[in-house]
A and B are shown apart, each in its own frame.
Chain A
Amino acid sequence: MSVFVLRRILTLVATLFAASLIIFLVLDALPGNAAQMLMGADASPDAVRALTVKLGLDQPLAWRYLLWIKGMAVGDLGNSYVYGTPVAGLIAERLVLTIPLAIMSMSITVVLALAAGIYTAANHNKIGDVGVMSLTQIGIALPNFWFAILLILLFAVKLQLLSAGGFAGWDDGIWPGVKSLLLPAISLSVVQAAILARVTRSAVLEVLREDFVRTARAKGLGKREVLWRHVLRNAMIPVMTVMGLQFANLLAGTIVIENVFYLPGLGRLIFQSIANRDLIVVRNCVMLLAAMVVIVNFVVDVLYAFIDPRIKVANL
């Protein structure tokens, strides 16, 4: 086990470094001069030079990269070019919204998908199966931001139950915050749940065909018991792989959905920073999102080994 985990950790670190290098090269090496972009094409060369020195952009590229890496290690991400405040603080403010949103939508996704997947597999080829599967086919085709707009139309415009956007914050207790994240979380999860439900269904069906299931049934275990005790655990591997990959989509989705609901989260911060040409904020936010994706997939990889010990042998 330890060798397996060690190898995975090394891959994780290498991947994070590669990601940081690419992000740095794309955002800081290609555009020429961030100071020029900030000040616009008409700025006088002297002013641009002064800002370049002030932002530290006159240093060699490799040195700036090392400074950034060092800064990330100690939690100092530098100051925003536009606001002048620490980037770490800006990001932390936004994560208060984005992380609960991601957790809420992942939970809704998992609950919906497992329920639908197991139900359809257990009722294979019956009317309920066909119905739910047709629904998932439609769910996969829905753009999540359109579904979000439809939810706003229904719950905010027609029924006037929930607000069309904005975030209530966590100061007045949990409920107002959760309430303002409810529609965004649902719109993020519906598409993901449709995909995951299909994966769950085919994984469960696959396992149901295995010999050990027949053995368990022959032993006298009831259908339900076999399903819960033997089938699900074995069907979880593909389901978890997809969940890990979906997390990446979920984070990317928050960028879009936060814009639909005017939520002041990480996605909107990235977006405003692009508009403001605040490249240092963009760089750190993109790094954070990429790191979250890589780390979640790392955790999934390691979890496999616990769920199915055969995997680590295959990987050694």
Chain B
Amino acid sequence: MSTPLTATVPAIAPATRPATGFRRRALRLRSFVLGAALSLLVLGAALLSLLWTPWSAYDIDVASKLHPPSAAHWLGTDVLGRDIVSLLLVGARSTILVGVIAVGIGLTFGVCLGLIAAARKGWTEELIMRMSDFTFAFPAVLSAIMLAAVAGPGMVTSITAIGIFQIPTFVRVTRGSANAVWAREFVLAARAAGKGKFRITIEHVLPNILSILIVQATIQFALAILAEAALSYLGLGTQPPQPSWGRMLNDAQTLLFQSPMLAVYPGAAIAIAVLGLNLLGDGLRDLLDPRLARER
């Protein structure tokens, strides 16, 4: 569970030098291409699992437990005889589902609050910002633990906890970039033309910060995947028999001495998904808004 860094590093003045030089541009493009490819791989796995898996990811067949990789089971079977490839494919689905909903929660509430803070200023802004600072004191694992203690563990618990933790990051990013738009001349012109704060927010501010929000959402998606994996590993997230990568790691840990590879696959899947999204976010940042491209 890493920090939502991109948002919280205090604003260092953006690099004034535009990115030049063939090598650097190519490097950036390469990270974008690699990121998009890895993200599509995970998305493709999730979509494929809706149509087809080599074996059922739910049927238990203890007789064929812990099989090594073979032509029938490409990566072998787990302790309940389930096919690892099928589990990984269906696990991608849970991962993406939790990520999409959690980021959706963070994005919806965070962007609204951030836009309000930037438009209203004064004590409203102060209140919203203090509240979002405060929410940072409760990392997703901590709120998930509280929720699990009263409502029981499960996918809803983990989605809610991750979603809440995502809100402050979006509040900060939205407010910061919205404030910058509010200071621009065309907003002044719009105000002079008699447009209200709400209309300016919808017509001018939001479209101008959209690319920043897309980049941030990509990175937050990666963080949500890490959080979901950790919560499922702890048994607070996705519950069996629904396969999830975090859960698979938990199961595998008891068998480290017999079948060490079982602990390698699900973790690699998580790492690929997160790496892909992070690279994609970096690449998108450079492509959508070259001014934002920092020295990386």
Contacts and interface: CB of A to CB of B under 8 A. Distances in A.
A145 B249 contact: yes
A293 B137 contact: yes
B237 to A, nearest CB: 12
Contact of B5 (A124, A195, A203, A274): A195
Contacts of B234: 255-256, 259, 271
Nearest to B16: A209
A113 interface: no
Contacts of B137: 15, 19, 248, 290, 293-294, 297
B134 A199 contact: no
How many of chain A's residues touch chain B, expressed as a range? 35 or more
A44 to B, nearest CB: 23
Interface string A228-250: 00000000011001100110110
Interface string B253-288: 100110010011011001110110011000000000
B139 A270 contact: no
Nearest to B133: A15
A252 interface: yes
B229 interface: yes
A253 B137 CA distance: 14
Nearest to A145: B233
Interface in B135-186: 136-142, 145-151
A274 B231 CA distance: 14
A98 to B, nearest CB: 14
Given A19-B134, A141-B271, A202-B12, A149 B5 contact: no
Interface in B96-155: 130, 133-134, 136-142, 145-151
Contacts of B133: 15
Contacts of B151: 30-31
- Of B226, B274, B279, the most chain A CB neighbours within 10 A belong to B226
A286 B10 contact: no
Interface of B: 1-3, 5, 8-10, 12-13, 24, 27, 130, 133-134, 136-142, 145-151, 222, 226, 229-230, 233-234, 246, 249, 252-253, 256-257, 260, 263-264, 266-267, 270-272, 274-275, 278-279, 294-296
For the complex of A and B, list the 9 residue pairs with the smallest distance between their C-beta atoms, beginning with the closest: A146-B267, A252-B139, A141-B275, A141-B274, A31-B150, A252-B141, A293-B137, A205-B295, A274-B149
8 contacts: A124-B295, A141-B274, A149-B256, A149-B263, A149-B267, A256-B141, A274-B149, A290-B137
Interface of A: 11, 15, 18-19, 23, 26-27, 30-31, 124-125, 130, 133, 137-138, 140-147, 149-150, 152-153, 156-157, 164, 191-192, 195, 198-199, 202-203, 205-206, 237-238, 241-242, 245-246, 248-249, 251-253, 255-256, 259-260, 270-271, 273-274, 277, 279, 282, 286, 289-290, 293-294, 297
